Amino acid sequence: MAIKIKNTELAEKAKDIAKNYKTLYIMGCFGAPMNDKNKSRYTSNYAYNKKAERKELINAAEADTFGFDCVGLIKAILWGWSGDAGRTYGGAIYKSNDVPDIGANKMIKVCSDISEDFSSLEKGEALWLEDHIGIYIGDGLAVECSPKWEDKVQITACNCKKQGYNTRTWTKHGKLPYVEYIVEEETPNVSQTETPECPSFELYDIVALKEGVTTYSSGKSIASWVKKAKLYVRKINDNQTITVSTLKEGAITGTLFACDLVLIEKAYNKSENSSNSENDKPTAAEPDKQESDTEQKEGAEKEEVTKPEGTSPESSPLPEKQGDTKSESNSPEASPLPEEQGDTKSEDASPEASPKTSEESEKESESKREIRKLFWRIIRYILDFIKNLLSRE
């Protein structure tokens, strides 16, 4: 019977390949060096590799570059890959060590202790999401081969935020049957590893991305215009992530780490004077039901731009400039508050009204502006909620 590789050895080997070898994502490849013969072979055996841009990348690779795909990386290590550029598969022997030639989805099924709870992991465990697989190497990090990000064997953050690493959100993990798992003390909660203390937000707060943030919590890239846009909080999740939407231009929705956001404006200022009663607060209109499906499936070759439901600019729940009362009064959707009109008229027309100081007038104007802002927010939230309900029907 074949000797099983230890989990620590599997993790270290994967890490070594990511850091010390030239690699390239090539579908169906498990460690073959990119000599002329292998280039010809792999650019003609899979439709993905036959694509013009992929074919160009493969043919441009140097002879000391080794090709892998996601599951091919794991199989190559288990089959004895040694980084020998003089051998057809870099030293790997096909189907050796009683390890079968299976794909990512089947490999997770043969694992033991399969779980969706990432609070505790062991080195060498398989990490999985639909059509993609990787290896946990400890300290909240994983090794995976993917055309995403660096287009090679690379180290990424596993279901957590770590500076200097792209984040991959896996859905399951398990222990490979071809690996001997040695019990270790390390069982880090990767969802909290090196995650700084995050600010707290409330529903409908106006926020913006911190400088330098380039990806959503799922690892998908953020469009350049979204990085500069004002956003509002749609949902506060229980894993230190916040689901936000842009205020205009198609209402793009995405999920971000709370630590990647800065507060621009609170949804409701609790320090306002007592004339603003509890009834003035904008009510969250069932945010769980408003939530659009922004976490699309991530496969090795299935990365897509997140576009939620309600992509019409008309569905934007808030105006870009909330304090601009002129633009509000010109809105074709609704007329100004009738109560405000009546109050203003009676005050101006009353011969007994005492002269007001400039300070009192300024406070009164500010109060009216705040009431008007809240009124328009509530109207637009209601419209957005109705549109989302209609679109689901």
What the chain holds in terms of domains, given with CATH numbers, is 5-180 (3.90.1720.10), 197-393 (no CATH)
pLDDT of residue 248: 64
- Name the more confident of 193 and 116: 116
pLDDT in tens, 293-325: 333 333 333 333 333 333 333 333 333 334 443
SS3 per residue for the chain: CCCCEEHHHHHHHHHHHHHHCEEEECCCCEEEECCHHHHHHHCCCCHHHHCHHHHHHHHHCCCCEEEECHHHHHHHHHCCCCCCCCCCCCCCCCCCCCCCCCCHHHHHHCCEEEECCCCCCCCCCEEEECCEEEEEEECCEEEEEECCCCCEEEEEEECCCCCCCCEECCCEEEECCCEECCCCCCCCCCCCCCCCCCCCCCCCCEEEECCCCCECCCCCECCHHHHHCCEEEEEECCCCEEEEEECCCCCCEEEEEHHHEEEEECCCCCCCCCCCCHHHCCCCCCHHHHCCCCCCCCCCCCCCCCCCCCCCHHHCCCCCCCCCHHHHHCCCCCCCCHHHHHHHHHHHHCCCCCCCCHHHHHHHHHHHHHHHHHHHHHHHHHHHHHHHHHHHC
pLDDT of residue 126: 98
Q: Is 250 exposed, middle or buried (0-12, 13-18, 19+ CB in 10 A)?
A: middle
199 band by pLDDT with thresholds 50, 70 and 90 = confident
Which has the minimum average pLDDT: 10-14, 182-186, 389-393?
A: 182-186
Give the C-alpha distances (Å, rounded to integers) separating 213 from 156, 236, 245.
16, 19, 16
pLDDT, mean of residues 128-152:
97
Which has the minimum average pLDDT: 26-35, 115-124, 239-248?
A: 239-248
pLDDT of residue 289: 35
pTM, full prediction: 0.53
277 band by pLDDT with thresholds 50, 70 and 90 = very low
Bridge partners of residue 157, in order along the sequence: 141, 167
pLDDT in tens, 350-370: 344 445 556 666 777 777 888
Task: Using the structure block, give the residue that is written with the tokens 């231009």.
Answer: 249
Which has the minimum average pLDDT: 15-24, 94-103, 183-192?
A: 183-192
Cα 360 from Cα 362, distance rounded (Å): 5
pLDDT, mean of residues 143-161:
97
Task: Using the structure block, give the residue that is written with the tokens 């794909």.
Answer: 103
pLDDT, mean of residues 217-228:
81
Q: What is the mean pLDDT of the chain?
A: 77
Cα 383 from Cα 379, distance rounded (Å): 6
Task: Using the structure block, give the residue that is written with the tokens 């009164």.
Answer: 364
